[in-house]
A and B are shown apart, each in its own frame.
Chain A
Amino acid sequence: MASEEMEQLVRREYKQGFVTDIESDTVPPGLDESTIAFISQKKGEPQWMLEWRLEAYYQWLKMTPPSWAHLEYPPIDYQAISYFSAPKKPEDRPQSLDEVDPKLLETYEKLGIPLHERAALAGVAVDAVFDSVSVTTTFKEKLHEAGVIFCSISEAIREYPELVRQYLGTVVPQADNYFAALNSAVFTDGSFVYVPEGVKCPMELSTYFRINAANTGQFERTLIICDKQAQVSYLEGCTAPMRDENQLHAAVVELVALEDAYIKYSTVQNWYPGDEDGKGGIYNFVTKRGDCRGDRSRISWTQVETGSAITWKYPSCMLRGKESIGEFYSVAVTNGRQQADTGTKMIHIGENTRSTIVAKGIAAGRSDQAYRGLVKIGPRAKGARNYTQCDSLLIGDRCGAHTFPYQEIGNSTATVEHEATTSKIADDQLFYCRARGIDEEDAVSMIVNGFCKDVFQELPMEFAVEAEALLNVTLEGSVG
């Protein structure tokens, strides 16, 4: 492979690195009870919510950051982070796209996501989170007709306190882990979805997150509840501007699927990965968990992880209902100095539960990537089945790819299979393509896309297109 070309491409700059200059209403850095009270008050939350946050905060104080992941980063100073940042004048939010700050729209333009067009063309309702406050929500009426609630979590706390109170923290408890506890204490925004019994959500729901102001951590909290026989497909995508200091992102996503419900959660994550020395990228410590509470319920996670300096993320499924299904499809691409420790947990509790894990890792440059997964079959999970496949592709001889799959099996009627391979792009594959007049870069891109196909085909159509494009852009920088 032409190594000079490769070098050149490796040194490409982050294409989506730019900063939108919008005044933010930011609290001074630091975290104590008063910060939490400030956030809670700013959001107009009821007393129980503040108490819930404080409970989490006191738990967090007693905890220590996890050190078991295959990651290296300097200790984070949690007092140096500003925990709230909202675009100015949250009270007079724009009611339609026309009222949206043109600069924000410009930002979306630069990202290649023309919000209004996209929303109209794809029939997607977009709850765009710009920094920490939902700026605009479209297609709300249509959803309202169907009885689907899709709003920011802050709004949900105010408008549907009973629903929120019933489900919040029941999948990811406040003290689940260090980052989840932090999030529970200080979360500022995120999405809330409730699909009532028997309703198939008429459109795919989508939120584009974007971290903007310097030094503000983003703490999203997403809660999706799918009632009996309901269905929803939720899309989450992210990009971030270029920054010098590490930004902390500690989100929590909770999914609840009741009887016969189906939740499909897709993510494309493309946050700033840092410069070529790994400086300045996003720290992405996310807790995502789905609870298949009802019989025959199904939760499907699909993720394309291309960004962030550090990714620590294990979307999981608790398969409690009989015959419930958990799925995890993941493509993780790391380049430069990126580090990713990602995977899933499938906890089989109910009878005849099934899970499928397909994880594809591509490591390039000097990056380090690990798949870490747990498949646990409880003693009562009769007839449980799991199939796991995790493959790694190494591009370059300075990167690392690792797999740490845990299997804990306590039932003889369970069938658990795990396969993993690690290899590089074979020279004969490249040669085959080149012999047919396909240049090297296209050939590599084709091979890699083929490698990821099992996962991409799980993505919703418009997302799959975006994911492929994203992958090509990322690979452009790593191979000849």
Chain B
Amino acid sequence: MSAPERFLERLTQRRADDPSWVAARRQAGAARFEAMGFPTRRDEAWKYTDVRRIAEGDFALATDATFDGAHFEAQRLDIDAYRLVLVDGLFSAELSELEGLPDGVQVEALSQAVSANHEAVGGALGRLAGVDFSPFTALNTAFADEGAIVRLAPGVVVDKPIYVLLLSRAGGQAVMSHPRVLIEAGARSEATVIEHYSGEPEAANFTNVVTEVLLDRGAIINHYKLQEAALTDLHVASIHVDQSRDSRFNSYNLNLGGALVRTDLVTDLNGEGAEAAYNGLFFVQGRQHVDNHTLVNHNSPRTFSNENYKGVLDDRAHGVFNGKVFVKQDAQQIEAYQNNANLLLSDRAEIDTKPELVIYADDVKCSHGATTGQLDEDAVYALRSRGIDEPMARALLTLAFVGEVMDKVRLNVIAERVERAVAGRLPERFNLADLVETAEAIQEA
């Protein structure tokens, strides 16, 4: 049996009471996935990422959503937010906290939204992420029956962040989950949405998530993806964004965990004045593999994009960055900036980076840059001459390197968590936790 067939066989475990359009899409997804199969390194988009670890795996589907309470408290962000929790792809009402949602704000599990009013979901779901995008979106389409639906009525500004926590459990049979996140922001609405991937250490599951974000005129969405999966977890994600006139999408794609991680981030700037900001960070070590593919399509004149991705790689980690800016013909007066900087801390770490520009209009200001290097020895020397020992100096400079991206993060609870993780995960001798705490204490005082 081929790998796609083996995966699709699990479909029989699914409920059979889908509405007809869901069943039809499931079939389309399954057929497309079977036809495409898993990508290989011969596919340009997967040139540096080998997904055999996924294709050769045996993943069941989770049957319950129980999660250890202590672990949950340790993993979740300590933040005042509307919280929706999925455990191995299944909704956990027990761990979720969705009371007191303001008028005009809908945050619901996908299964609930479908059973309550499936027609309202059907129109938007899958509009951006077609089954042709990649074998993984096709696979997700075949399986997806849970996820998060976020809907904002026009003009609503949500008071608290909307926090979607996706947890992965360890022990027993490895499972796969295919969650689906749909964010529909009405005109001039504004919200912060957090997708947080975490779980028990040692979890070795396969998460294949698809997120779709639709921004109507003037809407603003701050989208955080904090990926802290266990170092044995496999994670594939695609985020598809459609922006109307004067809308703004701020993406924060922060990757710390996972054994094999691939994220595709695609934004279509479809209305004048639309603006997208991509902030990315990946900090990897051991044998982690993180692949970020981003694409900004400037389909309308006077649209703007600004992208900044920073990578820190240690040990035998492998990082991939592929950023593409596309400017359509007649989409004049575009500004598009893209930057990728990588810091290699080890001789055996590898980074493959490809910043692409594809431009069909002339009145544009586009630039991209990519740099890879090591810490500036002069800066290390400068710190040492002021009495800071070498490991500390290097650690400080590493934190400063990611600072440019972290400064943009507006949720302190996330920024602190990432900085602590970066500091804590630097080799033992770089132990910076105390320093971070001291710095925080000074800030609070």
Contacts and interface: CB of A to CB of B under 8 A. Distances in A.
Interface of A: 68, 379, 392, 394-424
B350 A410 contact: yes
8 contacts: A401-B357, A406-B352, A406-B354, A409-B372, A415-B374, A416-B370, A416-B373, A420-B367
Given A407-B353, A407-B354, A424-B364, A418 B44 contact: no
Nearest to B355: A405
B332 interface: yes
Interface string B337-349: 0000010111111
Contacts of A406: 352-354
Interface in B347-399: 347-374
Given A400-B359, A414-B373, A419-B368, 5 more contacts: A410-B348, A413-B374, A416-B370, A421-B366, A423-B365
A422 B329 CA distance: 14
A379 B371 CA distance: 17
B359 A422 contact: yes
B363 A424 contact: yes
A157 B72 CA distance: 76
B314 to A, nearest CB: 9
B330 interface: yes
B362 A407 contact: no
A399 B362 contact: yes
A355 to B, nearest CB: 14
Contact of B345 (A405, A407, A408, A412): A412
A401 B356 CA distance: 11
A76 to B, nearest CB: 23
B357 A422 contact: yes
Contacts of A402: 356-359
A403 B368 contact: yes
Q: Which of A68, A406, A422 has the most B CB atoms < 10 Å from its CB?
A: A422
Contacts of B369: 417-420
Contact of A405 (B350, B359, B360, B370): B370
A400 B358 contact: yes
Contacts of B361: 394, 397
Q: Which of A392, A399, A409, A413 has the most B CB atoms < 10 Å from its CB?
A: A409
A475 to B, nearest CB: 15
Contacts of B374: 412-413, 415
B367 A407 contact: no
A401 B368 CA distance: 13
Q: Which of B348, B350, B370 has the most A CB atoms < 10 Å from its CB?
A: B370
A409 B351 contact: yes
Nearest to B375: A412
A395 B362 CA distance: 7
A416 B332 contact: no
Q: Which 3 A-B pairs have CB atoms at the shortest separation, nearest pair first?
A: A412-B344, A394-B362, A422-B366
A344 to B, nearest CB: 15
Q: Which of B344, B365, B372, B374 has the most A CB atoms < 10 Å from its CB?
A: B372
A413 to B, nearest CB: 6
Contact of B349 (A399, A412, A418): A412
B372 A415 contact: yes
Contacts of A420: 355, 357, 367-369
Interface string B155-193: 000000000000000000000000000000000000000
B357 A408 contact: no
A417 B371 contact: yes
A424 B372 contact: no
Contacts, number: 114
Interface string B107-139: 000000000000000000000000000000000
Nearest to B351: A409
B425 to A, nearest CB: 17
Given A413-B374, A414-B373, A403 B357 contact: yes
B188 to A, nearest CB: 33
Contacts of B373: 414-417
B332 to A, nearest CB: 7
A409 B352 contact: yes
B362 A416 contact: no
A343 to B, nearest CB: 12
Contacts of A419: 367-369
A341 B227 CA distance: 38
Contacts of B363: 397, 424
Nearest to A400: B360
B333 to A, nearest CB: 11
Contact of A408 (B44, B348, B350, B356): B350
Contact of B359 (A379, A394, A412, A417): A394
Contacts of B354: 404-407
Contacts of A423: 364-366
Contact of B352 (A403, A408, A412, A413): A408
A420 B364 CA distance: 13
Contacts of B355: 403, 405, 418, 420
Contact of A412 (B347, B364, B366, B371): B347
Interface string B287-331: 000000000000000000000000000000000000000000110
Nearest to A391: B367
Contacts of B358: 400, 402
Contact of A422 (B349, B367, B370, B371): B367
A287 B344 CA distance: 33
A162 B370 CA distance: 45
A412 B346 contact: yes
A70 to B, nearest CB: 8
A417 B39 CA distance: 30
A418 B370 contact: yes
Nearest to B365: A423
A378 B168 CA distance: 37
Contacts of A397: 329-330, 332, 361-363
A379 B365 CA distance: 36
Contacts of A394: 359, 361-362, 364
B367 to A, nearest CB: 4
Interface in B398-431: none
A412 B355 CA distance: 20
Contacts of B349: 410, 412
Nearest to A418: B370
A409 B361 CA distance: 32
Nearest to A424: B362
B180 to A, nearest CB: 32
B367 A409 contact: no
A408 B358 CA distance: 21
Contacts of A417: 369-371, 373
Nearest to A407: B353
A411 B44 CA distance: 23
B359 to A, nearest CB: 5
Contacts of B359: 392, 394, 400-402, 422
Given A400-B358, A420-B357, A407 B372 contact: yes
Contacts of A424: 362-364
Nearest to B357: A403
B355 to A, nearest CB: 6
Contacts of B360: 399-400
A404 B362 contact: no
A409 B371 contact: no
A368 to B, nearest CB: 9
Contacts of B48: 408
A476 B367 CA distance: 27
Given A379-B347, A409-B351, A415-B372, A403 B356 contact: yes
A402 B360 CA distance: 8
Contacts of B367: 419-422
Given A396-B362, A400-B358, A409 B344 contact: yes
B352 A407 contact: yes
Nearest to B321: A407
A395 B364 CA distance: 11
A163 B353 CA distance: 40
A308 B377 CA distance: 47
A413 B364 CA distance: 36
A414 B362 contact: no
